[in-house]
Amino acid sequence: MRKVSSWGRLSADLHHVEVLSNPCSVASQVGRGPHLGIAHGMGRSYGDVALNREGTLWMTTGLDHFMAFDAVCGRLVCEAGVLLRDIQKMALPRGWMLPVTPGTQLVTVGGAIANDVHGKNHHVLGSFGDHVQSLTLVRTDGELIHCGPDVRADWFAATVGGLGLTGVITQAEIQLRKVAGPWLDTETIAYADLDAFFGLADGSEAGWEHTVSWIDCIAGGGGRGLFMRANPADPGPLPEPGGRKLSMPVVPPVSLVNRLTLRPFNMSYFHLNKWRAKRALAHYEPFFYPLDNVQAWNRMYGPKGFFQYQSVVPRDIGQDAVQAMLKEIARSGDGSFLAVLKTFGDRQPVGMLSFPQPGVTLALDFPNNGSRTHRLLERLDAIVREARGRIYPAKDARMPRELFEAGYPRLSEFMKYRDPKISSDLSRRLMGA
Ligand X SMILES: Cc1cc2nc3c(=O)[nH]c(=O)nc-3n(C[C@H](O)[C@H](O)[C@H](O)COP(=O)(O)OP(=O)(O)OC[C@H]3O[C@@H](n4cnc5c(N)ncnc54)[C@H](O)[C@@H]3O)c2cc1C
Q: 68 forms bridges with which residues in the sheet?
A: 77
Nearer to ligand X, 361 or 373 (CB): 361
How many other C-beta atoms are found inside a 10 Å radius of the C-beta of residue 429? 18
Nearer to ligand X, 164 or 222 (CB): 164
Min separation Cβ 10 and ligand X, Å: 12
Nearer to ligand X, 82 or 330 (CB): 82
How far, CA to CA in Å, does 190 sit from each of 131, 265, 276, 364, 423? 33, 16, 10, 19, 44
Nearer to ligand X, 60 or 213 (CB): 60
Min separation Cβ 5 and ligand X, Å: 11
Min separation Cβ 71 and ligand X, Å: 25
Residues that bind ligand X (CB under 6 A): 7, 38-45, 49-50, 60, 80, 102-104, 107-108, 110-112, 114-115, 117-119, 163-164, 168-169, 291, 394
How far, CA to CA in Å, does 174 sit from each of 80, 122, 123? 11, 17, 19
Min separation Cβ 262 and ligand X, Å: 19
Determine phi and psi for 305, rounding to 5 degrees: 75, -160
Nearer to ligand X, 332 or 343 (CB): 343
How many other C-beta atoms are found inside a 10 Å radius of the C-beta of residue 67? 13
Min separation Cβ 118 and ligand X, Å: 5
Output 381-386 pairs: Cβ under 8 A, ≥24 positions apart: 383/321, 383/324, 383/325, 383/328, 384/311, 384/313, 384/321, 386/321
Min separation Cβ 365 and ligand X, Å: 10
Nearer to ligand X, 7 or 306 (CB): 7
Min separation Cβ 101 and ligand X, Å: 8
Min separation Cβ 178 and ligand X, Å: 23
- For residue 156, give every residue at least 6 positions away whose Cβ sits within 8 Å of its Cβ, in sequence order, or none: 132, 134, 135, 147, 148, 149, 350
Nearer to ligand X, 29 or 60 (CB): 60
**Residue of 304, 286, 279, 328 whose CA lies nearest to 103:** 286
Min separation Cβ 98 and ligand X, Å: 12
CB 102 within 8 A of CB 118: yes
Nearer to ligand X, 130 or 328 (CB): 130
Nearer to ligand X, 383 or 426 (CB): 426
CB 138 within 8 A of CB 361: no
**Residue of 114, 3, 8 whose CA lies nearest to 53:** 3
How far, CA to CA in Å, does 243 sit from each of 16, 104, 240, 286, 294? 39, 17, 10, 10, 11
The per-residue b/e assignment along 325-364, b for 16 or more CB within 10 angstroms, e otherwise, is bbbbbbebebbbbbbbbbbbbebebbbbbbbbbbbbbbbb
Nearer to ligand X, 222 or 225 (CB): 225
**Burial of 93 by CB count in 10 Å (0-12 exposed, 13-18 middle, 19+ buried)?**
exposed
CA angle 398, 400, 402 (to 5 degrees): 155
Min separation Cβ 423 and ligand X, Å: 10
Nearer to ligand X, 119 or 318 (CB): 119
Min separation Cβ 163 and ligand X, Å: 4
Helices in 115-193 by DSSP H: which ranges? 122-125, 153-159
Distance CA 423, CA 40 (A): 12
Torsion of CA 308, 11, 160, 286, to 10 degrees: 50
